Amino acid sequence: MDLTENQKTFNLTPHDFGNDFAFGVSTAAYQIEGAYNTHDKSPSIWDHFSSKKRTIYNNQHGQIACDFYHTYKEDILLMKSMNIKNFRFSLSWSRIIPNGYGHVSIAGIDFYNRVINFCLEYGITPWITLYHWDLPQILQDKGGWTNRAILSWFENYVKVCATHFGDRVKNWMVLNEPMVFTGAGYFLGVHAPGSKGLKNFLPAIHHATLCQAAGGRVLRSMVVNANIGTTFSCSQITPFSNKPRDILAAKKADALLNRLFIEPILGMGYPMEHVPVLKRIQTYIKEEDLKNVLFDFDFIGVQNYTREVVKHNFFVPYLRAKIVKASSRRVKTSLMDWEIYPPSIYEMIKQFNQYKEVKRIIITENGAAFNDNLTHGEINDTERLNYLQSHLEQVYKAKKEGLNVEGYFVWTFTDNFEWAEGYRPRFGLVYTDFSTQNRIVKSSGKWYQDFLASN
């Protein structure tokens, strides 16, 4: 199916979603910036982690990535030409405060001021994520997210950001996907910092939950008219069969993957009833903590890519539940072996709408990686185009049914460094030639450009 045929079968326009619905793109500092040791920037945990052999695909790293540090003007102008009016990006803690706590880098502040000002000059609204996984290594050497001192480190970092950028930036996200950076980084060890086991995972969970609320309170007190959110990775969880043990396994997986960080901030506590091992987190809970994890966010960022099918497995410790790989189920998948299942995004909007305390939902990430082939200077990525359209249709379905959803951000603008997968998966609307830093707008990007212009 070519681009013309795709456009004929997709009849929605931005107007259908409402005048206040925000369309945009999302990125993250370590994945695009490069300039890993420019000026006084210190190493982050991802600089350190990717320097080790066999931790990243083909021993790749983000030292240069998309070189956004030097090409930000060209990229923002490209964004402008594609009618993209909302740009979600994160700040690098180690670029702003190289020692993690204390001295503030003038060069780091100046860089983000330039990015913010250039966005505003060209009519693009900045949406800032405070923490997108790149903790300063100097703080990890002190325990990172397992050290309760991170509460003061993080509050200080947020105050610095609010002080320097809060006069112009009104849209903020505190954390990006805490379940991923604690689970993959502090339990499984497949992401930075590479720590493993419950002794790391449980304190990291609790401290991240506390920081999530603490960051929100700092922003509320320091930024006038702030629109404050935080983001969660989530997937529709489906039991492998109707057997009671598979249904129970799915409930456990849902509690861990979808409920673990949202429910404490709403005053519901950790979902211990379905994940009993979480009772051990009480070791790290101090007086006033359950009050201090509460925060009334203006919006919740829902980040959805797929669904997961879960079955009982006795040999999986703590959960007795295991995700059944999409490739083994003979379903259509993306390059990441994630099932392409558009109804999942609708179901997650519906699930988060069930929390009456959630004011607004914004889809802050949705996208897919495929084998993009550069042919005669063009990338005809029909699979990605179909993916985005079919997911937008599900978002519209939710909106039309009266469910609370007020935005949609594509992951991602340019192909970038995809963590442990390196540069192999390409998620971008724009193709990046990492050897030349040349950018080529893909068919999906051209479609998004036309879609946004159709308003």
5 is catalytic: no
Main-chain phi, psi angles of 100, to 5 degrees? 85, -35
Residue 284: which of 149, 392, 167 has the closest Cα? 149
Q: Work out the angle between the directed axes of helices 382-400 and 343-353 (0-180°, nearest 10).
A: 30
Nearest to 177 by CA among 141, 212, 214, 140: 212
Q: Give the DSSP per-residue string, 251-308.
A: HHHHIIIIITTHHHHTT----TTT-GGGGGGGGG--TTHHHHT----SEEEEE---EE
Enter the tokens of residue 91. Answer: 């700040």
**Catalytic residue selected from 177, 308, 347, 383:** 177
Give, for 375, the enclosing helix (H) or strand (E): strand 374-375
Q: Which residues pair with 228 in a beta bridge?
A: 172
Map tokens 């007020």 to a residue: 406
Q: Which residues pair with 25 in a beta bridge?
A: 87, 410
The Cα–Cα gap between 189 and 197 comes to 8
Active-site choice (308, 365, 383, 418): 365
Alpha-carbon gap, residue 249 to 244, rounded angstroms: 9
CB atoms within 10 A of CB 434: 15
- Contact (Cβ atoms closer than 8 angstroms) between residue 160 and residue 97: yes
* Contacts of residue 241, Cβ cutoff 8 Å, sequence gap at least 6: 311
177 is catalytic: yes
* Cis peptide bond prior to 238, omega within 30° of 0: no
Q: In the block, which residue shows the tokens 């051990």?
A: 280
Distance of CA 435 to the CA centre of its chain: 26
Per-residue H/E/C for 398-414: HHHCCCCCCEEEEECCE
- Residues catalogued as catalytic: 177, 365
